[in-house]
Amino acid sequence: MQNMEKIYKEYATTVYKYLFCLTHNEDISEELTQETFVIAVKEIKKFRAECKISVWLCQIAKHLWYKELKKKNRHISLENISNDLLYSNTTEEIVLKKEARLKLFKDIQKLDDKSKEVVYLRIIGNLSFNEIGEILGRTSNWSRVTFYRAKNKIKEVNENGQED
């Protein structure tokens, strides 16, 4: 347990900042940081040191955030609807925006896991290719190329009307 206390003190801020990049919300980031370390305590024996501990912790945090997003997507937020109404001129425009966003996320789900991860970190987390590479234990160039290929794959599927 002493070891986990040291790990927490050393990496809690890193995990929090990573989650804040994804969530843009202090409360959610704080809550998910705590959950991340609860899981890390339970799963520390499974850590194989194939990557930095910070990468492992951020992976746990990312999965918790995705889980949170899935929960949120089940419920239509009144706040999101009112924001869409404020910034859109017509009901048709609102529907088209939501359909386009839904289509994009469906297309992203068709990508392989690494590509999906890079795309989500880039568009939702608003992270640089360098930050993405660091989190995933790769180079910034690998992140850039993976994102570019994922974008092209989505375009190709849309242009050809293909379904994978």
Q: What is the DSSP string of 81-116?
A: HHHHHHH-S-HHHHHHHHHHHHHHHHHHHTS-HHHH
- What's the half-sphere exposure (Cβ side, CA atoms, 13 Å) at 138? 17
Q: Give the CATH architecture of domain 1-75.
A: Orthogonal Bundle (1.10)
What residues does each domain of the chain span? 1-75
CA distance between the termini of the chain? 46
Token pair 């997003």 is found at 69
Distance, in Å, from the CA atom of 88 to the CA atom of 67, rounded to the nearest integer, reads 29
pTM of the model: 0.46
Token pair 């050809």 is found at 160
pLDDT of residue 164: 42
Read off the pLDDT band of 90 (50, 70, 90): low
